[in-house]
């Protein structure tokens, strides 16, 4: 397992970038504009991690800017922790066996979401590309929120 990023939702991308980059000193590593989903993702890393983060070898902060205004009350601005895992199906099986609910099953062989006992969302991503869809995951419905 490898720690990838922490996601934080931001209401004003320019103000957030001014804080994280201009004041705090983080470096922008990658930006993704998703017109269909109406959001922008900006990945930031500490200066000493920037080169390694660009090669996805160091953890980053992901700023998520949703183009449609939202009120992030109750901690919704903190999104999730993300980890690459060697085998997403085995990881989800182990978690389920331990009593963890798979909120977003890995139907696509690539991504799943679970929650910690304290309600923190954890994103699991298949390392090295998606696995072929497989049961019981492919037909498993979402449970709760993530």
Q: Are 47 and 25 in contact (CB under 8 A)?
A: yes
Q: CA dist 75 to 5, 79, 100, 131, Å?
A: 18, 8, 22, 33
Nearest to 144 by CA among 121, 111, 110: 121
User: Which among 48, 51, 123, 135 is annotated as catalytic?
Assistant: 123
Residue 56 annotated to the active site: no
Give the span between the Cα atoms of 74 and 72, in whole angstroms.
7
> Six-digit token pair at 3?
């720690």
> Six-digit token pair at 83?
């980890």
Which residue numbers are catalytic? 123
């Amino acid at each position: 397992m490898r720690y990838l990023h922490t996601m934080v939702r931001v209401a004003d991308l320019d103000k957030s970038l001014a804080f994280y980059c201009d004041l705090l000193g983080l470096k922008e590593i990658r930006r993704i504009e998703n017109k269909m989903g109406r959001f922008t993702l900006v990945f930031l890393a500490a200066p000493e991690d920037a080169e390694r983060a660009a090669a996805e070898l160091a953890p980053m902060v992901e700023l998520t800017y949703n183009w449609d205004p939202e009120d992030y009350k109750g901690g919704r601005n903190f999104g999730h922790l993300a980890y690459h895992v060697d085998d997403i199906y085995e990881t989800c099986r182990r978690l389920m066996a331990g009593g963890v609910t798979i909120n977003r099953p890995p139907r696509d062989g690539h991504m799943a979401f679970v929650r910690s006992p304290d309600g923190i969302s954890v994103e699991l991503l298949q390392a090295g590309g998606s696995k072929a869809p497989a049961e019981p995951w492919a037909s498993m419905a979402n449970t709760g929120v993530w």
